[in-house]
Structure 1
Amino acid sequence: MNSVHVPNELSQLLEESHVHIQMSVPQLVEKILSRNEGKLTSTGAISVSTGKYTGRSPQDKFIVMEESIKDKIDWGNLNQPISEEIFNNLYQKVLDYLKEKNEIFVFKGFAGADKKTQLPIQIVNEYAWHNLFAHQLFIRPSEEELLTHKPGFTVISAPNFKANPVMDGTKSETFIIISFEKRTILIGGTEYAGEMKKSIFSIMNYLLPENNIFSMHCSANIGVEGDVALFFGLSGTGKTTLSADPKRRLIGDDEHGWSSNGVFNIEGGCYAKTINLSREKEPQIFDAIHFGSVLENVVLNPDTRIADYDDSTLTENTRAAYPMHAIENIVQPSIAGHPNTIVFLTADAFGVLPPISKLTKEQAMYHFLSGYTSKLAGTERGVTSPEATFSTCFGAPFLPLPATRYAEMLGEKILEHNANVFLVNTGWTGGEYGVGSRMKLSYTRAMIQAALEGELNNVETVKDAIFGLNIPLHIAGVPDEVLQPSKTWADPVSYEKKAKELANKFRENFKKFTKVDSDIEVKGGPIA
């Protein structure tokens, strides 16, 4: 993980006088304000706008087709190939562009809290606020570590450098290009800071499995007795809410590795969604947004500078970036033992998946590969049908290797450490969206609490007739009838029709996994 490649041209650039290396948070805040890159909020956070792009640009993300990795990458729409010639040309153009800037900002840190396997990283920024973002999101080095820090991967971000697609070989003015041989990520044409975070995650999803470490898009926490839990889930499933348990300490919010030593956080901070944020709903996130935090695309009152988290004028994807130590009740350093419990969260708007079910190893691999949740069709008048969404391994856009590689590692870890895996539906019950109701949070918390405390490891279950899932018959604090979806629908015929509709969507989606062991589909998927 420590192999180093810093091109000579970059080394020369970073030795120039206009380059600020490892500025402190107060120094960066001063720079941001003096350069008019952002505004100070009432809590002391920095508020910025990312302009045209308020989210990731997956269509503009590429991996350089290099000899050492060309046969390993899962090439396609999510991992688009680009030539070394195009990368080298853009690399030189971006460096020439940065040489003309009055100031450049550099952060040196790490990805991965486990010191035995962590990757030294370097972030080179055109914007001071991007450098503050990097300082808060990645792992900050000690003074001693900084003395010997040699970057194993470098991110170069120049938002105001826009590519010419005709001349530069890109699809648009925006580009996010990973070169594994040059150990460099080149970002241009977008101010959205999340590109830096997710690019580092993407390379870790390549580097960690190459070192026999399972990389995961999940949150993690630990109980008072040292029991570790992982929470996988796409947006809207409740991952952040359910993993932030006052009785348990947070290991990390979003990205983790699972090695032979246990789990570790890849990051040093959190990048939380803030739309409709309130202290009542998310006290940890709300109280973490203070001096040094970065707010993206959050509308402020022009006079009081109080953030209006309900205002989605700029985007629904409003965000806050803050360091892990801004949260109480965390694990420091962000490492722990092997997981006892793994939770897959789904928000099923079809209203047919059980609120909780215990998975076999094959079912766990099947549902991990499926990465199912559902999104609502939108707010168009008359449109009420949900839409099934499948994101492989709960993080498809960030997986350079074939999905089966990650699923096989999950299966191996489950067997090796006897981890219990549960599928939890935080979506609808008693009918589909528009008919039924959202699962009560109190019920979901009671079910997860029972799972974490081992109460569901050996309980009596009933097999779901369509999905083949093992449903507990009784859980304290949850009405028995709620546990079996078929009993919550007024019309059994409608339930069966809707359940089979979703089961067929699972089967159709799973056809793309042509190299999966047939046992996973036969033993892990729907049975009717």
Structure 2
Amino acid sequence: MKTVDVNIELNELLSSNRMYNQLSVSELVEKVLTRQEGILTSTGAVSVSTGKYTGRSPKDKFIVNEASVENLIDWGSVNQPISSDVFEKLYSKVLTYLKDRNELFQFKGFAGADTGYRLPIQVINEFAWHNLFAHQLFIRPTEEELLTHQSEFTIVSAPTFKADPVVDGTNSEAFVIISFEKRIILIGGTEYAGEMKKSIFSIMNFLLPQNNVLPMHCSANVGNEGDVALFFGLSGTGKTTLSADADRKLIGDDEHGWSDNGVFNIEGGCYAKCINLTFEKEPQIFSAIKFGTVLENVVVNPDGRLADYDDTSLTENTRAAYPMQAIQNIVEPSVAGHPHTIIFLTADAFGVLPPISKLTKEQAMYHFLSGFTSKLAGTERGVTSPQVTFSTCFGSPFLPLPAVEYAKMLGEKIEKHNVNVFLVNTGWTGGEYGVGKRMNLSYTRAMVHAALEGDLNYVETTQDEFFGLAIPQHVPGVPDQVLVPSLTWEDKSAYEVKALELVNKFKENFKKFEGFDAQLAELGGPLK
């Protein structure tokens, strides 16, 4: 797709003497403080509040239905269409609105650490702290790169502009609209900075497959021998904890591409959750929260400006945005070879999935498409049944293309590069939630370590009777009986009931993919 020049109105905005271009971290922090957008914490981080919106607003996200993408996008509740006419009118209104602002901020950078696939972007912000966020989360150009930088996508963010749904054709006051032909991301009505990060990821999920690059919602690290590992998993599965390894260097914590050259980070920073954060649990994240870091919706005590990471009065989705360089044990640039090992993480509250199992290519594609975990909403009120969650490709909100296209690419790359794939259950053992207990973290770490070291590549396995998964008979540091779910349950009949219940959940969810490949459901899915 050819680059489309931004329109005259945008060029006028960019050339305004009220536009601050490529400010440094120190300059942006000064602006945040003088504009009273936030405060400094005891560690020097900038603390801000996002107001009404403390997370993404998926019902307010749209893609412009343009001729060049009309037959490519997987339209539906995730990718909602909006007309070019509606977009252009709203876009013009937002630009006119921004012209009246006293100060605006521009950042130029990149998405994609591999220079062969990176996307030059620019971000135009109404808020200084949003521009600081962009500076920390995206890849920052060198002075030399900045001289030749030609933006191919532009984010225009106007959080204080509130849309009128009746007049502007939106669903609410907030809107996140992507135009692939205009190469514009238009954001308004929400102060949540994560919309910028995830919009760029959505764009990369559309653009990268055109170059045979698989975009992935995962963390990645690499060992001393160059062995790359990918960690996929939804919230609560332990992805951050298990991918942070003192003996391995971090490539990135959230978004990656897998090209013919290997794996690369899409971002230049981390957007880490801060809920209940302690140095003991997450030393990397805790230590990264210093000058230049943006803390979102973290309650700060007035006395001493100490951040209270246990306080959820604003939201449980508290976040810290900081550059990769705030972490010591990283790969620079964030590029590495092809994966040796892929780990799919799930937290099964049914207590029936094996704590670790080795997947065939077909099973890997099946579980990639399924993206299963269990969320336990409201456990403090005594909820005893799990909330089943399936997030396609472990990132369904960010997939513009049909999910099966990503799964096919994954299968092809697994086969081509002979990658070992494991499903690791960090959820419950010995019974469902409320009966059994959470898997021992030390056991999970031992299993992941064994997988990464290649100890499980040739070990003898037994087949799980319900899911058809290959369960290793022995894992160093883990009792053998822990490896087989049925052996950990006292009530065998209750185990079978729960196992069949989860099997049926998987099959019901996978029906939407059966038209793609019925054989995949047969070879990759449950046996029962």
TM-score (norm: length of structure 2): 0.99
Q: Distance in 2 between matches of 1:79 and 1:428?
A: 34
Q: Percent identity?
A: 74
Partner in structure 2 of residue 8 of structure 1: 8
Q: Is the 8 A contact 2:366 2:521 kept in 1?
A: yes
| Separation (CA, whole Å) in 2 of partners of 1:202 and 1:406 | 13
Counterpart of 2:445 in structure 1: which amino acid? R
Secondary structure at the aligned position of 1:498 is classed as helix
Aligned to 1:431: 431
The residue correspondences of 1:365-514 to structure 2 (distance < 5 A) are 365-379=365-379, 381-514=381-514
- Equivalent AA in structure 2 for residue 283 of structure 1: P
**Secondary structure of 1:511 counterpart:** helix
Aligned counterpart, 1:314: 314
Q: Using the alignment, how far apart are the partners of 2:514 and 2:432 within structure 1?
A: 31
Extract unaligned runs of 5+ from structure 1.
none
1:74 maps to which residue?
A: 74
- Paired residues in the alignment total 528
Per-residue CA shift, 1:380-409, capped at 9, x if unaligned? 644211111000000000000000000000
Match of 2:373, SS state, is strand
Residue 513 of structure 1 and its aligned partner are, at CA, apart by 1.2
Which residue is 2:244 aligned to?
A: 244
> What does 1:344-355 correspond to in 2, within 5 Å?
344-355=344-355
**3-state SS in 2 of match to 1:120:** strand
| 1:404–1:515 Cα contact (<8 Å) kept | no
Residue 516 of structure 1: how far off its partner (Å): 2.0
Q: In the TM superposition, what whole-angstrom CA distance separates every residue of 1:354-392 from its partner, at most 9, and x where no partner exists?
A: 000000000000000000000114236442111110000
1:514: Cα distance to partner?
3.8
3-state SS, counterpart of residue 466 of structure 2: coil
DSSP-derived class of the 2:458 partner = coil
Q: Distance in 2 between matches of 1:374 and 1:125?
A: 37
CA offset at residue 303 of structure 1? 2.0
Report what 1:301 is aligned to. Answer: 301
Distance in 1, matches of 2:259 and 2:446, equals 30
CA contact (8 A) 2:219 2:255 kept: yes
- 1:4·1:151 contact (CA, 8 Å) conserved in 2? no
CA contact (8 A) 1:377 1:385 kept: no
Q: Which residue of structure 1 lines up, in the alignment, with residue 31 of structure 2? A: 31
Provide the residue aligned with 2:255 in structure 1. Answer: 255
Instruction: Identify the residue that residue 156 of structure 1 maps to in structure 2.
Output: 156
Amino acid at match of 1:86: V
Structure 2 unaligned spans of 5+: none
1:423 Cα deviation after fit = 0.2
CA distance, structure 1, for counterparts of residue 387 and residue 176 of structure 2? 29
Q: Which amino acid aligns with 2:446?
A: A
Listed as ranges, the matches of 1:196-215 within 5 Å are 196-215=196-215
Corresponding residue for residue 165 of structure 1: 165
Residue 8 of structure 1 deviates from its aligned partner by 2.1
Distance 2:10 2:212 in 1: 31
Which residue identity lines up with residue 28 of structure 2 in the other structure? L
- State the Cα distance separating 1:523 from its structure 2 match: 0.5
SS across alignment from 2:379? coil
Match of 1:325 in 2: 325
Checking the alignment, whether the CA contact within 8 Å between 1:2 and 1:120 is kept in structure 2 is no
User: How big is the shift at 1:162?
Assistant: 0.4
TM-score, normalised via structure 1 length: 0.99
Give 1:135's aligned residue. 135
TM-superposed CA distance for 1:204, in Å, is 0.3
Cα distance in 2, alignment partners of residues 382 and 304 from structure 1: 37
Q: Structure 2: which amino acid aligns with 1:239? A: K
8 Å Cα contact 2:4-2:181 kept in structure 1: no
Q: How far apart, CA to CA, are the structure 2 residues paired with 1:231 and 1:409? A: 17
Q: CA–CA distance in 1 between the matches of 2:274 and 2:2?
A: 35
Counterpart secondary structure, 2:51: coil
The residue correspondences of 1:45-124 to structure 2 (distance < 5 A) are 45-124=45-124
- One-letter amino acid matched to 1:390: F
Give a deviation string over 1:141-199, Cα, whole Å, max 9, x none.
00000001010100000000000000000000000000000000000000000000000
Write the letter of the residue equivalent to 2:65: M
Q: What is the CA deviation profile of residues 294-350 of structure 1, one whole-angstrom value per residue up to 9, with x for unaligned ones? A: 000000011210000000000000000000000011000000000000000000011
Letter aligned with residue 331 of structure 1: V
The alignment yields a C-alpha RMSD, in angstroms, of: 0.8
Q: CA deviation at 1:3?
A: 2.9
1:5 positional shift:
3.0
* Deviation of the 1:515 alpha carbon: 3.0
Contact 2:4–2:182, Cα closer than 8 Å, also in 1: no
Superposed CA deviations along residues 114-161 of structure 1, whole A, max 9, x for unmatched, are 001100000000000000000000000000000010101000000000
* Alpha-carbon separation, structure 1, partners of 2:401 and 2:417: 24
